Amino acid sequence: MLASGLSMPHSPRWHDGRRWVLESGSGRVLLIDAAGGATEVVAGLPGFARGLAAAGRYAFLGLSKIRPTSAMDGVPLAARRAELKCGVAAVDLAAGRVVGLLEFQTAVEEIFDVQLLPGARFPEVVGFQKESLHHTFVVPPQPPPTQVTTRAEGMGS
């Protein structure tokens, strides 16, 4: 058990030598002491949080709205139901604040996970509709760096 008394904990991660978790029911990012389980609120979030990916001092978190049919009346986040956003938040873990937000204003209301794609040059979300697939191209991987030979090396010094 990571800690007790949390409201819908989600996406526990070990990053930078510390234990992080999302408290989805209250819309918060928590730091959990590995020895005793004490929690520290790092940042408040404008949505139901699921999915945590971290790189350096930044974390990227999936945010969802609460479904209109969901019975979450006892959950602290439900009191802010009308203000919740769906998207991906960027949180500066050192400063403890949201520094960016990619918000979906239509069509998408839930995000279930977030992953980083190190080394990806042109990532794209592609649906499985026939029209989308017919206009999708796979770009070959980036070629290895070209070896440079200096003039002195090429002359057999």
Query: Each residue of 114-142: pLDDT tens digit?
Result: 999 998 887 877 777 777 666 666 666 66
Could you give the dihedral angle defined by the CA atoms of residues 87, 90, 91 and 97, in that order, rounded to the nearest 10 degrees? Answer: -80
Percent of the chain with pLDDT over 90: 48
| Spatial contact of 115 and 53, defined as CB atoms under 8 Å apart | yes
- Token output for 67: 């479904």
pTM above 0.85, yes or no: no
Select from 3.40.50.150, 2.40.128.630, 3.90.226.10, 1.10.10.10 the CATH code of 9-119: 2.40.128.630
pLDDT of residue 5: 83
- Token output for 129: 């509709």
The string of pLDDT tens digits covering residues 24-55 is 999 999 999 988 888 999 999 999 999 999 99
